[in-house]
Amino acid sequence: MTSQQSYFRRALAWVVLWALTGSCIDPFEPEIDEVDTSFVVVDGFINSRGISTIKLSRTYKLSAPGQPPTETRARVLIEQEGGGSVTLTETAPGTYTSPALNLGAGTRYRLHFFTSNGREYASDYTPVKITPEIDSVEWDLGGEGVQISVSTHDATNQSRYYRWGLEETWEFTSAYRSVVEYVNNQMRPRQEDIYRCWASNTAGNIRLFSTTRLTQDVVARHQLLEIPRTATRLRLRYSVLVKQYAQTPEEYAYWDELRKNTENLGTLFDPLPSQVTGNVRCLSNPAETVLGFVGAYSVTEKRIFITSAQLPVQWYRTYLTGYENCMQIDTFKLRDVDAAFRNPALQPLEGVYTGNGVLIAYTGAARKCIDCRERGTNKRPSFWP
């Protein structure tokens, strides 16, 4: 699911929940007219210093299973005000990418696309913003865990409105290490390590900050994330890539409204979601609702690592591994090996030998406790030390 669409869907879910729990005395089932739920969603931005990736999809009912429908076979362009355009290529269903761009600060661009059913859409022309470099990404012990913060500045005082995205990656191990595998009715040394893996996550909360009330355009140690001390992410080695985006006042207001609609809806006393208006329009039918905001800016980023050796020793026993229920290891005599490990849900661990070195059995456990690929990938990331 695309990031903006996930925010829209989350806000709508809260509205439904609020409506259903609003009466504590008599059950009430409102009559709801059927409305069009298939709105175009535009997710992405014009990258002024690199490759632009735009994802086109459709909204769908909360009750519908699976992923949102993608908008395929569209003709997508990035256009400069006054002339000139770049055509994007569909590199995956509903995903369109441009060549690497180098756009001048202050020039105005928009996204313009035509869907396969003949509808025409365009975003408003928006000036290119050049995002300043990140000065530092730091971590500190605070509260009940690790706090991640960012610092940046713009000496020209031209940025003022900031948004950040986070990409987390962490190393982990499964509950048990398997050194053998059962293949083609015979046991052999395991060819691929399935004990050590890496997992990743794109932190979903919207992170914004404005320096408009400050004399200088300086962001000093603004907290982006707090990781609980028990988190699996901190057990071995953790990394976070911080991406920074300079925004126009209009785009900042758009993301701030999305943030309010998706993060400030915990009780009946919180404000109800409001209509979030982006900058994309249907030129074929101005009355049609289109979701999304397309800005034009560069991206700066910085990555940090945290190892367990840098954290308090007493935290080691508090980490949650996700394998707390993996307690049972079974032993299978040689005559039972085929019947046991023919079941893919069960995996062998190692051989059992007598004091004289004679193999008499194999130990085994549930695949979910042995194969770390169930929760990540065993392909080491290129940036991992």
Higher-confidence residue: 196 or 271? Answer: 196
How many Cβ atoms are within 10 Å of 282's Cβ, its own excluded? Answer: 17
Distance CA 54, CA 94 (A): 8
Looking at the DSSP bridge assignments, the partners of residue 330 are: 364
**How do residues 323-357 score in pLDDT, each as one tens digit?**
999 988 999 999 999 999 999 999 999 999 999 99
Domain check: are 54 and 120 in the same one?
A: yes
Tell whether 216 and 275 lie within a shared domain. no
Residue type for 354, please? Answer: T
Which of 262, 294, 326 marks a domain boundary?
A: 294
Judged by DSSP in three states, 22 sits in coil
Q: Does residue 333 share a domain with residue 216?
A: yes
- DSSP annotation string for 74-109: -EEEEEETTS-EEE-EEEETTEEEEEE--PPTT-EE
76 and 45 together in one domain: yes
By DSSP bridging, strand 290-291 and strand 40-44 are parallel
d(CA 244, CA 258): 18
pTM above 0.85, yes or no: yes
Is 25 a residue whose pLDDT tops 50? Answer: no
Q: How do residues 192-220 score in pLDDT, each as one tens digit? A: 999 999 999 997 899 999 999 999 999 99
Please report the beta strands in 95-179, taking only residues with DSSP state E, as ranges in sequence order.
95-100, 108-114, 120-123, 126-127, 134-142, 145-153, 161-173
Query: pLDDT band at 273, cuts 50/70/90?
Result: low
Phi/psi of residue 353, each to 5°?
A: -125, 150
Together in a domain, 277 and 184: no
CA distance 269 to 246: 33
Q: Which has the closest alpha carbon to 365: 336, 340, 333?
A: 340
Name the β-bridge partners of 138: 149
> Which helix (H) or strand (E) segment is 304 a member of?
strand 299-307
Number of domains in the chain: 2
pLDDT single digits (tens) 234-270: 999 999 999 999 999 999 999 999 999 988 655 545 5
Same domain? 165 vs 51: no
Q: b/e string for 296-328 if b means 16 or more Cβ within 10 A?
A: bbbebbbeeebebeebeeebeeebeebbeebee
CA quadruple 92, 94, 95, 96: dihedral positive or negative? positive
Q: Same domain, yes or no, for 308 and 339?
A: yes
For residues 166 and 185, membership in a common domain is answered with yes
Q: How far apart are CA 167 and CA 201, in angstroms?
A: 6
Gap between the Cα atoms of 14 and 214, Å rounded: 35
In this structure, the chain runs to a length of 385
Q: 310 and 200, same structural domain?
A: yes
Strands 296-297 and 46-47: parallel
For the cut 50, the answer to whether the pLDDT of residue 44 exceeds it is: yes
Distance of CA 16 to the CA centre of its chain: 25
In a shared domain, residues 207 and 139: yes
327 and 229 in a single domain? The answer is yes
Dihedral over Cα of 7, 8, 11, 16: its sign: negative
Same domain, 156 and 13: no
Q: Which domain holds residue 324?
A: 133-245+298-385
Q: How far is CA 210 from CA 47, 136, 160, in A?
A: 21, 18, 6
Amino acid at 310: Q
pLDDT above 70 coverage of the chain, percent? 88
